[in-house]
Structure 1
């Protein structure tokens, strides 16, 4: 620290951020609770300005060498996108320069101006005006400060624009704050008067999306800091006197009835165009909206998306180029900024085996149903099966009853009609709550219009108790910030990875203060299981369970150990209803049961999903901590080491309560259960252990007075009933079943000493 101070790093505006925490620590669900892994923390950050870090310093104790800190310094520098890092033990300093690729031992730290000059030369940014624009401060009126990856995205984007790169792409997982990043980029450029032509004026920026909710939320929320500079282009009106414009493609595009409103602006009007959710719209070669981006081709254009490169969004990457920064769902979960999730794979009998009508079977309109074997992808598209819809609704209602009936839930259905039917079924299955909260279950689709937006707004409000369950089809797949959403339900097939990630994103936001630390994906169609198996998926679930449900919603649970996913077979071609008739067949009879509960875990390298039994997963975890039963016994006998084992298992998502339940051994001692699962040791109940102690160690009990033996007997009884979690002295003496006649702990000790 004295050497850093001597180099001027504690003088305003330069600063030293000491012991800076940069992540929150991954959340690991454990049974019905959770643990957080330790966050990552850097020793020192050297900042040229409050919003611009230049270097990281990793310091070791004086008895170690500076070289001992090199790898950690590199790890943090690369994570924080810094070009300089320093490893030190206080006396010696090793400088790591990412521009030159060298490690050099130096006597002193460079001054802030020296390091800043080296940075400018390294990135090729030499114009004084551009330098000041890069250093323009963020807007700090927001309650939250930027996270490390957001700062990287903001600074990289502004730096690229200042260097003349006019097509840019940011790929950031849903829930990681793309809108916040876009706002700070706009603020830096706007407040520093950057523009495409270099004139002395503020830039004109267009924020473009394909849904009103995607432009209204930022315009009225984060971007409110721009005040009267904001303007939304709508209703065919054009105003050219503002600087921060918002629009949806539909308001600008041309169609058979009108000339495109975008042509009311000169082609060189905008300096920057930001395209939110760019994978879905104007970047596609065959999109009718592409004409808007082509018309404003002179503007710098920034695309934002949550989905990495895939076949179904290749046009986006061809148009905008490779991302200048990527932050994945996997990384967000690992850092503890996004919620992990559990996946419940639920299979009805008809989804498992297909459904085929009986001979001359008629639908509710008296039409003959074509004789084919219908599969999951046909349900609610070609054939609507009321019994299946009822079974799904019943299972979901029971799931909420077992977990939390007020856990906010979004159900993605096949179409608006399907969303209406599931809504009706859920209302009838939760009539007790609907009587108290009439909007407990609501449908939110395009047909609801303003009423639906009202339901959605209340659903998003963390302070509002209802609506609790929203049923929808396509409307809520993107752009819906619902931070307390705890259940994402797939009642329709999701074929696109891009759409799947958007849907998953409805639940990834964290709200520690409201108990939202992870969420459930309840999958009735197999979409989640299939897409998790895709090698390009970048955010593995904490666990996947698979259930089979009956028509009444009852669950039978089975466990499998296969590690391969079967490709779904293609369903045969089906006959569409004649023109003019309802577009699908409706079958209201039959009975269907729920039939499957698999547990999918991440393998030791953290990348590939495998299907394992929970008990097998726990056993493997125990063997990684202790190679033998003897080693585990020795460590378990030491209270400190026992706590370390319990903590290590918790960080792997293993709770004794859940393990005993899964193994169907509710009365087992935790140590015996671990030894039995990991090393095939004999399994005893707690009562058997207690009885064995009484029989084999009679000499231990006989050396105490009758009163003391009574206390020991009652302590053993407490252990037999509740386990060693209750066996904490002296607290155990305060609660039943210790007899009140024995007295309080001080009285017990006094009598014990008096009796010798």
Structure 2
């Protein structure tokens, strides 16, 4: 048998014939310890115009595990034509995501071994027979991490596996393992910060499961402040706990169960008789998970904090997307610095979260303010205070019907362009505003309302019918309601996967609240084609995206007190905004006083906690006027950029910036194009980088071949249409070198190219259908027309060369 020519083998062949045998010979178990083609990211979604595309991501060739829960090493393979260490940098990238210290690169001749546990000699070359055994790497790993024998039973406990193939994502693995490391070391306060939509509850379930199965924690309490959070958790992620789990009801803690899910309100209240948690000893629970810990339990003086302090000996793990850091409230003071953080920016870059497009709408009254005429009265006959009313006043202390109507018309017109059945949440200043906005939207959409009266619903804490429709709104299978107007009820804890439009007509200055609201749109649902969402902003709220704190580590801030504000005009605004920021963000919001919205009957409201801004309406005097001329003065579109900031950028700009990284010059691009055996491979590569051809064609306004589109958009070249390129070939009498049958085939293929592009030339199926069936059968065309498949392929390559061999002259 002749020797194998390694240089001619593909990367897959190198893995199969050389790398995998070397790993298995070292003692690695193919069934439990070796995984191939491990996809760590989903691929970032790029949005421009009304189109979106996923960027293609590579998979780690091989990941080695101690157990399923413990990744140890990454092995990156390359074809033998490359140097042995070619894949090391790619492997380092995967290793960082998996938080593993061992990286191997190979071309089938041997391995480059990058060992972070040996800083004095990070990289060495080893032969195929010297690949380390599982026992060797595990011993090095434990020494590197400093694990003790007492920690290992917890750290090595397996994940829950239902056999469906669902496994934690790379960042969830890091969050789970770092938490278990901390707990195994005796750390009793742990904070996990994970962006909305990244699976905090699933992560919490796996943490609890492993600690429970390892018998490190025997009685566990999962705490939340909304029924919807408890019930979703119990029915979905926590379902495997089965009969060991209970939801605490009726202020009774049943010691027969091991996993307890509870509302704060079910465990405590202002009266001593309501403090159900005192039925059991302080050491009853040895693990407490606090969901959305930035809310009520974050404040030192919160009545809810007393539950955590009573069970102070228990390990307490806080979960939040938005850690709260102010002078009065601090998650990190209580829990310490986060054990792990996974941000919105990281989630979008990895393709696990939806990017956003921002449409900022400026209204003349908001920019210039509005002042009543002398002696002007409102609709109720009340004399209006003579001052300039600004954006913060509108729909809080000053209601102008025409402004509400303009916002409703803008929302309606946007949905008519994008999709009238796209799930939409409109955030209003208060319940009265949400009610008026619902009415305005109904009047703007009479045809949709006639089809179904639930097209627009007000979903707020005071509305029983609206609250009853919340589950239907968030259920992707239910078409109605389509538009929900709300104030606070839907700002957090609502898993609206298919929400495609988030409307901000609410004054928002709290970063915590802003992140929570934006989180309503960040979930991706491929099944329902929800890859991105739009934020329609009427109140400049999206200026918070420019704040360094938006996606960074929360810093403590100083909260100004009203008496410290010098400007008497702003005193009222400061008080109202302070109330909004503290009560709407840290309280249980307008669901609190309505058990059906998420709370148990009979649960008293904890001291210091308010029920949401519906109560404010009694305190705030509102003027209501009509007959004011209101105009939309500007509308601009901004997109999520690679650095997490908003940019006003066309798709042409994005394409130019993206492809200039690959092709520094026109010559470099043309050379790559001409050298490609099939042009479709380059088109696919560019699509993987987020180049959306439909969006580009719409913006450029020309029906161009991808080659000409890139030459024109990226390198500022004049463009030829496909028809012009096809005509140039015909003018040169190109086909005379071929037989009559081949000429007919190539001429028809050229027509196909002119109509549909180069993919028609390269698709062998094209010649199996009309008009080619008129020329001959598939086999006849290949054999009689060209002399065989190889000669046909060569003819296509030469035809493409003829198509792309000319450039139009630049005009002087």
Query: What TM-score comes out, normalization by structure 1 length?
Result: 0.82
Gaps of 5+ in 1: 196-202, 540-568
SS in 2 for 1:338: coil
Aligned match of 1:379: 394
* Mapped pair 1:455 → 2:476: no
Say which of 214, 217, 220 aligns to 2:232.
217
Say which of 67, 71, 95 aligns to 1:49.
67
Q: Deviations over 1:354-376 (max 9, x none)?
A: 33323333211111222222222
* Mapped pair 1:80 → 2:81: no
CA-CA distance at 1:98 after TM superposition: 3.1
Query: 2:629 & 2:762 partners in 1: Cα distance?
Result: 56
State the superposition RMSD in angstroms: 4.1
Aligned match of 1:112: 134
Q: Which structure 2 residues correspond to residues 157-556 of structure 1 after superposition, within 5 A? A: 157-195=179-217, 203-255=218-270, 258-307=273-322, 311=326, 315-449=330-464, 451-528=465-542, 530-538=543-551
Aligned match of 2:29: 10
CA-CA distance at 1:452 after TM superposition: 3.7
Aligned match of 1:96: 114
Query: 1:716 & 1:44 partners in 2: Cα distance?
Result: 44
Say which of 171, 177, 201 aligns to 1:149.
171
Q: Deviations over 1:513-533 (max 9, x none)?
A: 2211222222221212x1221
Aligned match of 1:549: none
CA-CA distance at 1:264 after TM superposition: 2.5
Contact 2:198 2:352 survives alignment (8 Å): yes
Aligned match of 1:69: 87
CA-CA distance at 1:55 after TM superposition: 2.1
SS in 2 for 1:478: coil
Aligned match of 1:545: none
CA-CA distance at 1:176 after TM superposition: 0.8
Decide whether aligned partners of structure 1 residues 465 and 600 sit closer, same or farther in structure 2, where only a CA change above 3 A counts.
closer
SS in 1 for 2:193: strand
Decide whether aligned partners of structure 1 residues 400 and 321 sit closer, same or farther in structure 2, where only a CA change above 3 A counts.
same
Decide whether aligned partners of structure 1 residues 732 and 666 sit closer, same or farther in structure 2, where only a CA change above 3 A counts.
farther
CA-CA distance at 1:214 after TM superposition: 1.7
Aligned match of 1:584: 622
Gaps of 5+ in 2: 1-19, 553-566, 577-615, 786-812
Q: Deviations over 1:146-179 (max 9, x none)?
A: 2122122222212221221101011111111100
Query: 1:97 & 1:747 partners in 2: Cα distance?
Result: 60
Q: Which structure 2 residues correspond to residues 13-24 of structure 1 after superposition, within 5 A? A: 14-24=32-42
Q: Deviations over 1:433-490 (max 9, x none)?
A: 22222222211111124x4443111122222121112111111111111222222221
Contact 2:768 2:777 survives alignment (8 Å): no
Aligned match of 1:200: none
CA-CA distance at 1:385 after TM superposition: 1.8
SS in 2 for 1:47: strand
Query: 2:531 & 2:513 partners in 1: Cα distance?
Result: 23
Decide whether aligned partners of structure 1 residues 674 and 251 sit closer, same or farther in structure 2, where only a CA change above 3 A counts.
same
Decide whether aligned partners of structure 1 residues 646 and 110 sit closer, same or farther in structure 2, where only a CA change above 3 A counts.
closer
Q: Which structure 2 residues correspond to residues 590-629 of structure 1 after superposition, within 5 A? A: 590-601=628-639, 606-621=643-658, 623-627=660-664
Alignment: residue pair count: 703
Decide whether aligned partners of structure 1 residues 677 and 10 sit closer, same or farther in structure 2, where only a CA change above 3 A counts.
closer
Query: 2:144 & 2:726 partners in 1: Cα distance?
Result: 74
SS in 1 for 2:633: coil
SS in 2 for 1:10: coil
Query: 2:773 & 2:36 partners in 1: Cα distance?
Result: 53
SS in 2 for 1:45: strand
Decide whether aligned partners of structure 1 residues 672 and 79 sit closer, same or farther in structure 2, where only a CA change above 3 A counts.
closer
Contact 1:31 1:657 survives alignment (8 Å): no
Decide whether aligned partners of structure 1 residues 653 and 131 sit closer, same or farther in structure 2, where only a CA change above 3 A counts.
closer
CA-CA distance at 1:338 after TM superposition: 1.6
CA-CA distance at 1:613 after TM superposition: 4.6
CA-CA distance at 1:639 after TM superposition: 7.2
* Mapped pair 1:137 → 2:144: no
Contact 1:374 1:571 survives alignment (8 Å): no
Decide whether aligned partners of structure 1 residues 371 and 28 sit closer, same or farther in structure 2, where only a CA change above 3 A counts.
same
Mean Cα deviation higher: 668-677 or 585-594: 668-677
CA-CA distance at 1:422 after TM superposition: 1.4
Say which of 682, 695, 699 aligns to 1:658.
695
Contact 1:333 1:339 survives alignment (8 Å): yes
Decide whether aligned partners of structure 1 residues 732 and 357 sit closer, same or farther in structure 2, where only a CA change above 3 A counts.
farther
Query: 1:601 & 1:276 partners in 2: Cα distance?
Result: 31
Query: What TM-score comes out, normalization by structure 2 length?
Result: 0.76
SS in 1 for 2:191: strand
Query: 2:568 & 2:406 partners in 1: Cα distance?
Result: 24
